[in-house]
Structure 1
Amino acid sequence: MALRIAGETIYVPDLTALTQGAVSRLIDEGSVSGRIVIHRAILQLLEYNASKGRVVGYAGLEELRRLRQYSDTGIIKLEFTGERLRGFIEDEEQLVGEVNSLIREYAYSVNGVLITGNELQYQVAKSMGIQVVLVKDKERGRLGFEKYFSENTMSVHLKEGVVPVAKIGRPGEWKFVKLSDTPLTRQEIEQMANEIIEATRSRSDAFIEIDRAGSTIVQLGAYRIVITRPPLSDGWEITAVRPLKKLRLEDYNLPPELVKRLNERAEGILIAGAPGMGKTTFAQALAEYYMRMNKVVKTIESPRDMILPPDITQYSKHYADTGELHDILLLSRPDYTVFDEMRNDEDFKLFADLRLAGIGMIGVVHATTPIDAIQRFIGRVELGMIPSIIDTVIFIKNGQIDKVYEVKMTVKLPTGLREAELSRPVIEVKDFLTGELEYEIYTFGEQTIVVPVKKLRGKQGIHEKIIEEIGKIMPEVDVRMENGDIVITLSRQDLKKYNRRIKRLRKLEEKYNIPVRVKVEE
């Protein structure tokens, strides 16, 4: 136990005070001086987090390094006391709670001043009669990485040993720009990473979404930040992405028919597009639009990077498993749920379950073409359920709506087939604005077939011409179209009869670039 000198104040920081960098800040402000005592249980906890590659551990150790420098120059006296925890606790919440309890007990025993950034720790300490300082949110200053952002910067890419670069422009029209001729050092990257983590501890609009060994994902205001470090990456790296502007749905100048559909019929919506094309920006505008229509709207995100009003509750996929999110949304019954960045089987299954339960769903998926967005559900859900889950696909390209599909189920003879007994359930994918059928999806045997009907119809005139020419080469044979190919069915007797003429079919294939297949009946 630290011995008190008459008139001296002993300051005892807890974990949050160190990871926020609050102690050194108070020293710089002149609010804290004298003796600062660090409990060894905190040092143990910081060491544990750093060994797991978590930035929280590094941020706390960096604060201790600053305090050591202050101590070496005589500004403060830094001491360590207490015993390390024995029988290390696996549950991290319980572990942090145990360390907080040890800090409070020590501060009480030496009549010291507890420094904390945790509201609960502050309230408990006050109830025990401990002198305590609650570190308030520091005034927001410009963080180190923000100096690389200008008005038109979409993202900044910082890596040790490499010059900083940025994407400047707008979705679909951007260029890589070097921001300096001097490569960044590891120390500079680590310092910026620590600043970011410290900011998440003191700002209400900042969250550590994911903290793993080797990577940390942070949502800091409008910035989505990914920090990676060895051994996951070959060096420290920070990637920060920021939306250029916030749009309302009215800014997209949507056709009246589409606005009517969004108002009345669209409840299973997919927003698709390539990375960086503006999918999330549109989803954000659509969420606010429904909110203004007095609908209850919630979101599922990871990270929570949508900039939305407080009326819309944003759930983090990282802090709850699929079952918990499923229960919360079913019981709270929102009119619409926006599911941002659907990636794995669990995401698609949750989307499908909630939609089938009657909740309006808006899913954001990566896709290079509009049909790819629908195909990502094939194999994950029963084919016949797809039209019940998805009714509208909106494809975003270069920040604008490029294509809108509507999805329906019908029973018909698929395009290109002729025999009536081949009729089956078919999913029709139509261009919503023109009503033109573009794709058909159906099962054939054990296979799922996705047929580009528009292209197939474009070739129908050629098919008819080829069939006519085949009729001249091989009179009275059975010729039909199957899935875009031309199929000739011959008996054994006809095969002998037309054997020499079959070679002429290959010339037709080369001429028209249409497959011609020959089937021989037994």
Structure 2
Amino acid sequence: TRDFKLFAELRLSGVGMVGVVHATNSVDAIQRFVGRIELGVIPQIIDTVIFIKNGIVNKVLSLSMVVKVPSGMTESDLARPVVVVNDFETQKAEYELYSYGEETVVVPVKGEQKSPSHELAARSIEEEFRKHSDNVKAEMAGDHKCIIYVPKKDIAQLIGKQGKNIERFEKKLGISIDVRELDGKNIESNSNGEGNEIEFTTKVSKNGIMFYFSGKMRGKDVDLYIENELLMTAKVGHGGNLKFHKRNKNGRKLLEALDFGKRVRVMG
């Protein structure tokens, strides 16, 4: 214990040093500090863990502190300081450390598997909100709660004065709705290529740009990206195409991207 406290003091004083501990796996090395030092300063003392097994680097983890709702919980009032342990290479969360009652717990972060019913509900909710915003992403956070991601400029309009608009949506849909800003983090899974990239051809005319898809894409929702940035979500027409006018803001962005050789992708 004395050695752990000395290491913590030296790290907090700004001394760059490497500590060596014996553990059966990478997260056990972090757990040995739990209880010996305060949870909030662990990422300042241990920012990187290199686990060596059989003489080779087996795992590298990085630590950071955020305020969030722990994985597996849904209610916003359960937010708390959480130490997130990420895989250094992929930056995907593998463990979370946080206070639960009087205990500090280390919880593995399991990959979330979305149920078909939640996927269907999210799509239906997106359709409803797309009447009020061009870019909408919906995620079900349980059977009775949904998180809606929209551009920052649309948030105030959707919520309405004293929350009257969002209350109307909640009564109509029968669920609790949380409106948040749409940004790069919300579309991480698609931008990393985990969605299905759809083949298409384009044709630029005097009036705009046309995207052509195979017949099986008729009536389906697709996400259009410029590089890794989500431009919008749209529904493919019955003719298997999408048309953007040059005077339209998104149409201008697409034409500009093509002119400058930027990568335009369609995911679905």
TM-score range, shorter chain: 0.3 to 0.5
| Structure with higher helix content | 1
**Structure having the larger proportion of residues in strand:** 2
TM-score, normalised to structure 2, is 0.43
TM-score normalised according to structure 1 size? 0.22
Which structure has the greater CA radius of gyration? Answer: 1
